[in-house]
Structures are given as C-alpha cells and as structure tokens.
A and B are shown apart, each in its own frame.
Chain A
Amino acid sequence: MSDLCRRDAMKRLARFGALAAAGGLVGPGGPALAQDDPVLAGRPLVRYPEKTDLILLTSRPPQLETPMKYFDRAITPNEAFFVRYHVFPIPLEVDLATWRLRVTGRVDRPLELTLEDLKTKFPRAAVTAVNQCSGNSRGRFSPRVLGGQWGDGAMGNAEWVGARLKDVLAAAGVRQGAVQATFDGLDKPAFASVPDFVKSLDITRIMDDPDILIAYQMNGAPLPMLNGYPARLVVPGWYATYWVKNLSEIEVIDTVFEKFWMRPGYRIPDNACGCVAPGTAPARTVPINRMTVRSFTASPGPGTRVPAGRPVVLKGIAFDGGYGIQEVQISTDGGALWCRADLGADLGRYSFREWSATWTPSQPGTARVMVRAFNRIGESQGREALWNPAGYLRNVIEQVDLQVG
C-alpha cells in the first residue's frame, strides 16, 4: 500500500467504536460476502437481448443489475450495462425510417428529426459519464423501504456521443417564457390510466450545460435496445431517472412539469443531506438531482481467499455528481487508518475513476477492505448510511471481506 496514509480524527473513530459495540454492527456498508448477501440471494443470472448474464431484479418491465466484477474498470461494456424500465410494454422494435425525435411546444420551429438529422445537422459531442439509478443499493436500506430492491449494480459508465440538447433546442427556437422541457420515450403503459414515464429539466439547466446530450452512440456502438436505442438523453452528474431512453418526444413548456414521475415520484427530502431520521417522512421534497460520492472495491470479490504475507492488488471505481474524484482511500483496519489509492486515467469529471492499491495482509482470518472517495469540492462518504423513505442517494462507505490464509 502507498505510504500516504493518515489516521481519522478521534471523535469520528470513537463514535464508530461506540456504535459497533452497541448494536452488533457489522460495519457501515452492506453484507460483505456475496454468498451472504440477502439482497442478491436467490436472484438468477439471465441473458436478455444484446446483453450478457446480468442479475435479474424484475422480468417485466425489465430491471437487470450489473455484477460487481465489471466495476474493476472505468468503462462498463454495453452488454453488461444495467437495465431499468418503468412501464410495460417496453419498445421491442425500432424502424429508423419512421422513428422521429419530435420537438414541440413553446418553440418557433417544431422539429421532426430522423436519426440521420441528429447525426449530421448538429455538432457531434462526446462525454464519458456515469449512469446510476436513483435507487441503486436500495435493498441495503435499514429500515427497509419499498421499491426495487437493488444491490449495488444499477450503475455503469460509458462514453456517450450525440447531439447537444441545447443545440437541438436552439434549432427549434425556445420561446420567451419557456420554463422546462419534458422528455418522453417509446415505452408506453398498457393502460391509459397508468402514468407514462415522462421527465423534465429546467430550460436554464439545459442551455447552461453543453454536456447534456441526445446520445446515439454508447462506447462506440449504437445503443442496445434496452439502454435506449436509437437515442437517449444523457444528463451527466444527475441520476439515471433523467436519462430518458428510446427518446421520441421533447416538449418545451411554460410551467414546472409535475406529473407522476417528477412529483410525487423521484423526490428527495429538501435539505442538505437529502435524508431524514429513519422511518420518518420529510416535510418538503425536491426532485432528485445530482449524484452523491460513491466508491466500490470490485476486485478481489467478496469472500475471495488471499494468501497472508503476499501483496494483493485491490481495484475498483469511484465517482460523484460531476466535480470529479480527487482522492480514493482504503482502510484495512476498520476505518482507523486510511491510505491513498492510486488513481487511473482521468476520463473527465463525470466518469468512473479507476483506483488501485496494493495491500499485504498479515494475519490469517477475515480481513475487511473499506473504501471511500473525496471529490474536488471535498464531499465524501459517511460511516453511517443516510436514510430517506424512497431509498435514494445511498453513499455510505462500502466494504468487502476477504479470507486471508
């Protein structure tokens, strides 16, 4: 391990020690051994079209989780990228001869764009960005909450290429008084009474951010159908709920859009931590937005046997909501001493940042590897999990247990 190590402040340590002694607390993160993981237990690996073996959360609408072994590298392969749809039926067929992206509402020139239009009439822009479900790791909330009981694999990182949303809106000519744009995809519910999955962003947010894309390329290839073919919204730094897949309609409106998936869906407590006391309800909420700082150890996987006295290379990724990762630290002594990991290539402030560290376990037995990250504005991860009733924003310090000897 790097010699750049430092000890945590005693106050925080004491607090952790007291908690651990009081409640039989295993540690801050989830269960550390894969085979003991109650969130993933009993869930089969399945292979959906254009996908490799992913962990099944739900069949229909499909929700598929990426196994943690893919997070030892910065770029998540398209075939391993997680899937999350909200309503059924989902689009199973796209004909580019008839597919159009419509831009309507408070614009001077409504547009009907073909995929070719998107590719040729607007400058091509690229961004490498993390796409993470708002409810990633919801299954680990305590007390538990209703909703998709994800483990930690509802996330992925890709290089997205497409047209800038601001360029498309500028071509349509956003009128004075426009407040938001709404985004709708080809997924349409079976019953008219079921709220269609439609999301919104502020016009000011869109026009200020050249990295928001209508992406038609993912890691150098067309998007898999289940990740949004032929084009999806990419909103770097913000949770995946805004990254509308199989995009087909953009409407510019002069109000704040408050249909189900913006309100009451996908809301967080209106305070600095986005959290409330466990089991309580927030007085006021706001739409979920920027992602919190997270980091994971992907290799060796939980429960791996490693020899004592020989160096082990630890690998994983870290990310945040767009400030960029400044530092990743690991602790192998329960969180007293934290040592700086080596960072991999910087693929931009919205990307997974690879990290690695070499550690030589000394004692046979179970060894716990904890990891935490800091972003460029000093935000980090806590030892105790924050709680909110929807199971969003999880970013507690994670850990894996390895068997030494």
Chain B
Amino acid sequence: MRRALLPGLLLLVLAASALAAADKVIPMPADHAFATLKPGPGVEVTRQQCVSCHSTDYIVMQPRGSAKQWDGVVTKMIKVFGAPVNDQDAKTIVEYLATQYGN
C-alpha cells in the first residue's frame, strides 16, 4: 500500500514544487542583428561599452548628428545614467559615432 502510494506522492510533490518555482518564466530573445554597428575605428569599444546596458538599435535609430550631439548623448549616459565608461573610452565612442552616424 505504501509502496503503491509513493510514486503518486512524489509526482504530487514534484508538481507542487514546479508550480512554486515560478508562475511565469519567459526567455529573453537575443539582440537582433538588424542594428549591428557600422565598422570603423572605435567600433569595438563602442559596442562593448554600450551593450552592457542596451542593444545597439538604441544607437543606430537615432537621428544623424554632429560630434556635439553625440558628445551630449555619451555625456548623458555617463552623468545621468551612470554608465561606467572612462574618459578615454568616452572620447573614442564620441569620435566613432560622429564619424559613422554623423550628419
């Protein structure tokens, strides 16, 4: 009797723990390739620094702009959004963006 019950009980326990683990779980799709950064000097630094917080579509969709616009954007990411980017990398990123996404 006890033996017969055991598998059923186990199943119940397993089902209950599966329910308790999470009621909803979704996978996070990978960044889409449509917004891959254009090649050019500084592209690797730009990609590495920016993608720790957001996909590159946030960059490529923006209106084309001068070095002043991109300096403003990078400064905002560092000063306002607290992106941990050092001065040297920030300079490289601004130059890359102004060259590849300039007007």
Residues of A within 8 A of B61 (CB): 57-58, 139, 148-149
Write out, one digit per residue, whether chain A residues 135-169 have a CB within 8 A of any chain B CB (1) or not (0).
00001000011111100000000000000000000
Residues facing A in B11-25 (CB within 8 A) are: 20-25
Chain A interface size, as a band, is 35 or more
Contacting pair B20 A97 (CB below 8 A): yes
Which residues of A are found within 8 Å of B22, using beta-carbon distances?
93-95
Cβ of B53 and Cβ of A194 under 8 Å apart? yes
Chain A 71-114 against B: per-residue CB contact (8 Å), 1 yes, 0 no?
Answer: 00000000000000001111011111100000000000000000
**Given contacts A146-B62, A193-B84, A225-B24, A46 and B53 within 8 Å (CB-CB):** no
What B residues does A23 contact at CB under 8 A?
Answer: none
Q: How far is the CB of A1 from chain B (nearest CB, A)?
A: 38
Quick one: which of A12-49 are within 8 Å of B by CB?
A: 42-44, 46, 48-49
The answer to whether the Cβ of A56 comes within 8 Å of any Cβ in the partner chain is yes
State whether the Cβ of B8 lies closer than 8 Å to any Cβ in chain A: no
A192–B83 Cα distance when bound, in Å, is: 10
B contact residues, range = 20 to 34
Chain B minimum-CB-distance residue to A44: B34
The majority secondary structure among interface residues of chain B is loop
Q: How far is the CA of A144 from the CA of B27 in the complex (A)?
A: 34
Interchain Cβ contacts within 8 Å, total number: 99
Say yes or no for B28: interface residue by CB 8 A criterion: yes
Cβ contact within 8 Å between A94 and B24:
yes
Query: In the docked arrangement, what's the CA distance between A43 and B35, Å?
Result: 9
Interface: B39 (CB within 8 A)? no
Please state if B57 and A92 are interface contacts (CB–CB under 8 Å): no
Task: Choose from B20, B27, B82 the contact partner of A191 (Cβ within 8 Å).
Answer: B82
CB distance from B67 to the nearest CB of A (A): 15
Q: Are B23 and A95 in contact (CB under 8 A)?
A: yes
A316 to B20, CA, bound (A): 44
- Determine if A229 is an interface residue (Cβ-Cβ < 8 Å): yes
Closest to A48 in B: B29
Taken together as a complex, chains A and B put the C-alpha atoms of A64 and B32 apart, in Å, by 12
Contact of A60 with B27 in the complex, beta carbons under 8 Å: no
The answer on a CB contact under 8 Å between B26 and A50 is: yes
A279 touches B (CB below 8 Å): no
Verify if A226 is at the interface (C-beta below 8 Å from B). Answer: yes
Q: Which residues B24-64 have CB closer than 8 A to chain A?
A: 24-32, 34-35, 52-55, 57-58, 61-63
A-B contact pairs, 13 of them (CB 8 A): A58-B35, A58-B55, A59-B29, A87-B53, A92-B25, A94-B23, A95-B23, A96-B23, A147-B62, A191-B82, A193-B83, A194-B53, A225-B26
**Interface of A with B (CB < 8 Å)?**
42-44, 46, 48-50, 56-62, 87-90, 92-97, 139, 144-149, 189-195, 222, 225-226, 229-230, 260
